[in-house]
Amino acid sequence: MHIKRAIERIPGGMMLVPLFIGALCHTFAPDSGKYFGSFTNGLMTGTVPILAVWFFCMGASIKISATGTVLRKSGTLVITKIAVAWIVAAIASRFMPENGVEFGFFAGLSVLALVAAMDMTNGGLYASVMEQYGTKEEASAFVLMSLESGPLMTMIILGTAGIASFEPHVFVGAVLPFLIGFGLGNLDPELREFFGKAIKTLIPFFGFALGCTINLTVIAQTGLLGVLLGLSVIVVTGIPLMLADKFIGGGDGTAGIAASSSAGAAVATPVLIAEMVPEFKAVAPAATALVATSVIVTSILVPILTAMWSKKMKGRAAKQSVKLETVARIK
């Protein structure tokens, strides 16, 4: 049997197939991890430790000469993502009621839901997808994406700066495994090669663990509106991210599409915001469900769209290379 070949025929398959399997387990047998316990439970609930090891190995695989590229790419994507969320919040706040839409098809939609879904990129999803369809430097652009994590950026965008405080040690903790791996990999080329081999191997494990946090019934609970929110996140943030990646980041737009997702951590943002800002309590439950659906939709579609765009760009580059070679021969 050629299981690996079959999975790789699916765009982003090494990430997407395990994610679906994990989501099915969580949806139809949510307590299976606790039931089996031990290593099985660890595998099903190990998103954070698996990512920590994966980020460490990713850092070890990057040469110090690539630091500028990584920072330029990650800075471009993060700033663009946050800027788009700012614009969406500014426009939506002019037309949307303070307590969100209460009636009709858009009932439950609020500025809080829009911003929470759009201002955070799923760093793990981005990095794993770009490991397959981009360069190591592009994959490592997640290094600044931890700045988006948590409710801080959402609160700033919503105009509530000063209520929440950003703790520097939390950011340090997010990037420390990467930095340690980066240091060791540059001190010893053999360690770089050793740890670098584990990057692709860890992708399906991360995908499965992430899937085990997703309940597929959320889509049914939020209906078409939640699906449309996920699609809007990809379109509204994806287009500016593609343009920024191409004209500022020096890429071909692939990294922009890969960054157009909603982060899993964003699901908790509405509740956290409501605890600190009571006026958001009324819209928090609906916003949570909508953002959860957006996470599911973007987790499924972003790898597929990234793979399709990457294939198109590589095909275009190949044709251009053939034309240049033909012209050179004629001359």
Residue 282 pLDDT: 82
d(CA 208, CA 45): 9
**Bridge partner list, 164:** 161
In a domain, 91, yes or no: yes
Distance CA 183, CA 66 (A): 13
Note the pLDDT of residue 143: 64
Is residue 283 in some structural domain? yes
Query: Rounded to whole angstroms, how far apart are CA atoms 230 and 2?
Result: 33
DSSP secondary structure string for all residues of 97-123: -TT---SSTTTT--HHHHHHHHS---H
- Number of domains within the chain: 1
Nearest alpha carbon to residue 259 among 279, 281, 239? 239
CA distance 123 to 178: 13
Domain with 90 in it: what CATH number?
Answer: 1.20.1530.20
- Phi and psi at residue 164, to the nearest 5°: -110, 150
Give domain status of residue 101, yes or no: yes
* pLDDT of amino acid 174: 67
Q: Determine the structural domain holding residue 42 and report its residue range.
A: 8-307
Distance CA 313, CA 316 (A): 5
The answer to whether the pTM exceeds 0.85 is: no
Residue 8 has pLDDT above 80, yes or no: no
- For residue 26, what are the CA distances in angstroms to 16, 42, 145, 208? 15, 14, 27, 10
| pLDDT, tens digit, 9 for 90 and up, residues 80-100 | 999 999 899 888 888 888 778
Quote the CA–CA distance of 146 and 178 in Å, as a whole number.
12
- The Cα 81–Cα 88 span in angstroms is 11
Assess if residue 199 is contained within a domain: yes
**Please, are residues 55 and 222 in contact by the beta-carbon 8 Å criterion?**
no
Instruction: Assess if residue 242 is contained within a domain.
Output: yes
Give the distance from CA 283 to its chain's centroid: 24
Banded pLDDT at 309 (limits 50, 70, 90) = very high
In a domain, 318, yes or no: no
* pLDDT(155) > 90: no
